[in-house]
Amino acid sequence: MENKSKKSHKYIFVIGGVMSGVGKGIATSSIGAILQSKGFAVNLLKVDPYLNVDAGTMNPVEHGEVFVLDSGLETDQDMGNYERFLNRSLTGDDYITSGMVYKHVIEAERALKYGGKCVEAIPHIRDEIIHRFQKSGRVNESDITVVEIGGTVGDYQNIMFIEAARVMKVMHPNDVAFVMVSYMPVPSKLGEMKSKPTQNAIRQLYSYGVNPDVIIARSEVPMDQKRREKIAVSCSLPVEQVISAPDIESVFDVPLNFEKDNMGKMLMKLLHLRKKQNETGIHAWVNFANKVKNTKDTVDIAIVGKYFNTGDFVLTDAYVSVLEAIKYSSYAQGKKAVIHTINSRDYEGKHKSHADFKALEKFDGIIVPGGFGESGIEGKLSVIEYVRENKIPYFGLCYGMQLMVIEYARNVLGLKDANTAEINPNSKNLVIDIMPDQKKKLEMCDYGGSMRLGAYDANLVKGTVAHSAYSKDIIQERHRHRYEVNTEYIEQLTDAGLVFSGKSPSGVLMEIAELPKKVHPFFLGTQFHPEFLARPLAPHPLFTEFIKEAIKRKEK
Ligand code: GLN
């Protein structure tokens, strides 16, 4: 077992109790933001205990958005929260799945790396996990690594990760702390908060040899002193180490709420950390959280997507970074974004003839986000045609840019069968085509982590909307796609008025398409996903430009 990590590196493990979905990710992000504000270099690491090697092959309706890092790793949406709360990019070492760990160990076994030993979960899988925890701290050059272990205590899937954390505590008792985020239900028939499920979860954690140092009790309402004491006694903790985390309106209040209970100081004490000179405080957060609370004027933005419905529910998890990006740019302009969801299927096929296109007029801006496959595409294309002709601000993200190019080719160039090879490879006019290396990958059924992924440079053309929004010549943005604007059509499209304002350094890949301001207030699409780099304290320049135009429309 590797035991040579920097002695002073600190680890906080965040573990869930009772049930998932109570805000472990936001708790982890908030702990990160608090420690960062105290002057520590922090990295946040997410453990997803599933056997998928990464999140890239999972359906966004079931699993939420796939969040892409600079490195190109396709991860869980929690990574997006981490980056947004830390206001910085994380590395490919900050995300671990069971699949990743097992794949590595099994491949090492096949390569005779274990010298003839019997390879087993303990010690080999456990030690590979410890190695990865330690590596993430080193790669980030951080002081503290906060690890969120996915799932809840009692799951089979995450046992090995909790065991790795336990062993790290044994190795470095002063450098490791455990935080349990648990749930305290208030059953409506009883009308009182029940602590028993949390007590049981704590007992289960004990049975793994782990004692929580801090309990964050999530609930609909604040926890009273009586229950705080009950939990404290049942897990042998000082009462201050039990934190009440009631539902609040905005997640940006969570770090502030934690700080009211002295979370930062408490964790520093538990980890034997001294106060830093370069403490910044959380003023920036306070300001932002106040803006969220006090902004009243609205701007109405619609997202045209297909991943909204599961059963009776409308879910927006598939587009969470897009929603966040819209909100941040709106707050920066003094507006609260009211986000509407439009199901693209309502604008196509038999629905199209009685679809209410006029209803689109009430929106100040319309976004077509990323996506895959055929369903809902014709509906998106008819919406794009309408917003182009009626000068409603339009922002296309990845697929949304490709569709904008197809719409332009069909309705302005008159190439009626213009299409993407993703939908109809037999179309005569494939204005969007598969990238040659991608074609080979698909033929070999190589689907996992094989798209054009992660951060790439693009050069911006002076005098364009994009250049003036970014105010720079070279940008870096994150990608996730297999298809591209077909270079054979660039001349025709350009002659017809479409401007390619961002291109890859080789000049071959079209990264941004737009119409000039004098033709349309904002009609712009990006082959990349700008939403992945939008942060509360650093809104994304293209979203901001789009929102500015949306506000102008509203105020007209
Ligand atoms: N399906 C398109 C492609 O693969 C767009 C992908 C996306 O929107 N992320 O190129």
Please name the residues in contact with 90: beta carbons below 8 A apart, sequence gap of 6 or more: 43, 44, 69, 79, 82, 83, 140
pLDDT at 308: 65
Residue identifier of the C-alpha nearest atom 9 of ligand 1: 370
Q: Which of 554, 490, 496, 547 is nearest to 522 (CA)?
A: 547
pLDDT at 114: 94
In angstroms, what is the span from residue 528 Cα to ligand 1's centroid?
A: 9
Helix or strand run (H / E) with residue 555: helix 541-555
Same fold across 14-287 and 296-555: yes
Separation of alpha carbons 494 and 469, rounded Å: 21
pLDDT per residue as tens digits for the range 84-136:
999 999 999 999 999 999 999 999 999 999 999 999 999 999 999 999 999 99
Mean pLDDT, rounded, for 536-552: 97
Query: Crossing angle of helices 126-140/159-171, nearest 10°?
Result: 70
Q: Which alpha helices (DSSP H) does 111-219 contain, by range? A: 126-140, 159-171, 196-207
pLDDT at 311: 55
Separation of alpha carbons 304 and 347, rounded Å: 10
Residue identifier of the C-alpha nearest atom 7 of ligand 1: 370
Confidence of residue 387 (pLDDT cuts 50, 70, 90): very high
Residue identifier of the C-alpha nearest atom 1 of ligand 1: 372
Separation of alpha carbons 299 and 550, rounded Å: 7
Task: Indicate whether 445 pLDDT > 80.
Answer: yes
Give SS3 for 37. Answer: helix
Say which amino acid occupies 398: C
Confidence of residue 5 (pLDDT cuts 50, 70, 90): very low
In angstroms, what is the span from residue 258 Cα to ligand 1's centroid?
A: 39
Instruction: Out of 3.40.50.300, 3.30.230.10, 3.65.10.10, 3.40.50.720, select the CATH number for domain 14-287.
Output: 3.40.50.300
pLDDT at 165: 98
Q: Which of 510, 494, 495, 415 is nearest to 460 (CA)?
A: 510
Q: What Cα–Cα distance (Å) separates residue 145 from each residue in 41, 281, 391, 502, 551?
A: 9, 19, 48, 37, 41
Q: Which of 256, 217, 215, 240 is nearest to 33 (CA)?
A: 256
Please name the residues in contact with 115: beta carbons below 8 A apart, sequence gap of 6 or more: none
Please name the residues in contact with 452: beta carbons below 8 A apart, sequence gap of 6 or more: 435, 438, 479, 480, 481, 482
- Among 141-150, 247-256, 487-496, the minimum mean pLDDT is found in 247-256
Task: Indicate whether 1 pLDDT > 50.
Answer: no
- Among 30-39, 353-362, 484-493, the minimum mean pLDDT is found in 353-362
Separation of alpha carbons 304 and 366, rounded Å: 7
- Among 34-43, 55-64, 398-407, the minimum mean pLDDT is found in 55-64
386: alpha, beta or left? (left if phi > 0; alpha if psi -120 to 50): alpha
Kindly report the average pLDDT of the chain as a whole number: 93
Mean pLDDT, rounded, for 58-71: 89
Task: Indicate whether 15 pLDDT > 90.
Answer: yes
pLDDT per residue as tens digits for the range 476-500:
999 999 999 999 999 999 999 999 9
Backbone phi and psi for residue 259, each to the nearest 5 degrees, phi listed first: -65, -30
Query: pTM of the full predicted structure?
Result: 0.94
What's the per-residue H, E or C state across 255-323? HHHHHHCCHHHHHHHHCCCCCCCCCCCCHHHHHHHHHHHHCCCEEEEEEEECCCEECCEECCHHHHHHH
Question: Which is catalytic among the residues 398, 422, 477, 549?
Answer: 398
Write down the residue that tokens 């793994």 correspond to: 208
Question: Edge-to-edge, what's the strand order for the sheet holding 419-420?
Answer: 419-420, 430-434, 483-485
pLDDT at 250: 87
**Which residue among 66, 399, 485, 532 has the greatest number of ligand 1 atoms within 8 angstroms of its CB, and so is best to mutate?**
399
Task: Indicate whether 312 pLDDT > 90.
Answer: no
Architecture, CATH, for domain 296-555: 3-Layer(aba) Sandwich (3.40)
Backbone phi and psi for residue 333, each to the nearest 5 degrees, phi listed first: -100, 15
- pLDDT above 70: percentage of residues in the chain: 97
- Could you identify the atom of ligand 1 that is nearest to the CA of residue 400? 8
Residue identifier of the C-alpha nearest atom 8 of ligand 1: 370
Structural domain boundaries of the chain? 14-287, 296-555
Q: Determine contact, residues 58/99, Cβ cutoff 8 Å.
A: no
Separation of alpha carbons 400 and 319, rounded Å: 13
In angstroms, what is the span from residue 147 Cα to ligand 1's centroid?
A: 31
Residues 455, 456, 462, 464, Cα dihedral to 10°: -60
Q: Which of 210, 211, 214, 216 is nearest to 266 (CA)?
A: 214
Residue 123, preceding bond cis, omega within 30 degrees?
A: yes
In angstroms, what is the span from residue 491 Cα to ligand 1's centroid?
A: 23
- Our answer to whether residue 62 is catalytic in this structure is no
